[in-house]
Amino acid sequence: MVRAFTLLLAAPAFAAPMAPLQARLDALAETAPGRLGVVVLDLASGARAAVRGQEPAPMASVFKLPTAVAVLRRADQEQIPLSTPVHVRWDERTPGWSPLGERVPPAGLDVTLDALIESMVGESDNTAADVLLRWIGGPQKVTAILRQLGIGGIRVDRSERTIAYHAAGLLPPPRAESLEALLSRLAAVPDARRVEALRRFSADPRDQATPEELVNLLAALDSGRLLQPAHNARLLEIMRATQTGPRRLRAGLPRDALLAHKTGTGYSRGGFSSGVNDVGIVNGQGRRLAIAVLLKDADASIERCEDVVAQVARVAWEASR
C-alpha cells in the first residue's frame, strides 16, 4: 500500500513544466533576496514549475503541518478521539508566538488533541507544537511516519524550544529551565553573535524540507490519501481558517480564491532573515494549485521577503488561467 502511494506522489514530477510560469519564477529568483525555492503544481493537470525545488531549506513553522499529519495519522491508526485531553505542563511553555503558553497556569492545563492541532496549525502556536511532539513520541517519530507514508525530503528533528537555543548559538542546559530563565538568556546574546548563529543554523540540515516534497504533501492532502476522511477534512478546515501570513500567499491571490496554508517564519536579526515561508492549496475560478515557497538566507527584512512570497502566488495564479 505504501509503495503504491509513493508512486502516486512521484508521478506528477514527470509532467511538463508550465513554460510561461517557469520563466517568471526564474526571473523572481534572480532578483529575490536570499535563495528562493518554489514549486507550483497544477493539481488538475499535474504540470509543475520549480526553482530550486529539490534544495532543502529551513521549514520554520511549516514543520507544524507535517507534524499535524503525523499526529492525525496516529489518531487514525490507534482510534484515538480528537476530544482526548492532553496535559500541558507549566515547564512546556515555549519561546516565540504562543497564546496557549500565556494561558497555562503553574498547575498545568488540559487541552484536547483537536484544540492543540488547531492552535499549532491555525495559530502557529509554539507551545502546542512542542506538546504534540511530546505526545507523538518526539520529532523523529514525525519523520518516521512521513517515511511510512512514502514522503521523503521532509525532516523534523527538534522541538521549538531546542531550536530557540540553537538559533541563538546557545546549548540547552542539562536540566529544563523555566521559560523566564530562557528568555533572559536569549536577550543577553549580542546581535552580532545571534546573526552568526543564525547563519550556522540555516546551514544545518535538520528541520529542513524541499519545496518539491512539501508540494507532494499538499497534493496528498488535497486528494485525501494521507488520513481518514474526517481527519483530512478537519486539517484542511484549520488550514483554510488560519490568519497567519496575510502578506504572503494570501496577498498575491484574489479575494475569492480559497487558500488552505501553513506559514513559517525563521528567526531574524540584524537585517538577516533565516527563512520566510508559506505553503498551501489554492482553489478558485476552476483552478487548483499547490504552492510551496521557501525563502532562506535573506539579507532583507521579513516584510521584503513576504513581498516575494506574494509575488510567487500572483504569477502562479496569472499563469494558471
CATH topology of domain 2-319: Beta-lactamase (3.40.710)
- Per-domain residue ranges of the chain: 2-319
The answer on pLDDT for 304 being more than 50 is yes
Q: Give the per-residue pLDDT at 17.
A: 54
Q: Give the per-residue pLDDT at 4.
A: 32
Q: What is the pLDDT of residues 231-284, one digit of tens each?
A: 999 999 999 999 999 999 999 999 999 999 999 999 999 899 999 999 999 999
Residue type, 295: L
Write out the DSSP string of 176-228: ---HHHHHHHHHTS-HHHHHHHHHHHHH--TTEE-HHHHHHHHHHHHHT-SS-
Q: What is the pLDDT of residues 45-91, one digit of tens each?
A: 999 999 999 999 999 999 999 999 999 999 999 999 999 999 999 99
CB 276 within 8 A of CB 305: yes
Q: Give the per-residue pLDDT at 176.
A: 84
Cα–Cα dist 293/208, whole Å: 13
DSSP annotation of 154: B
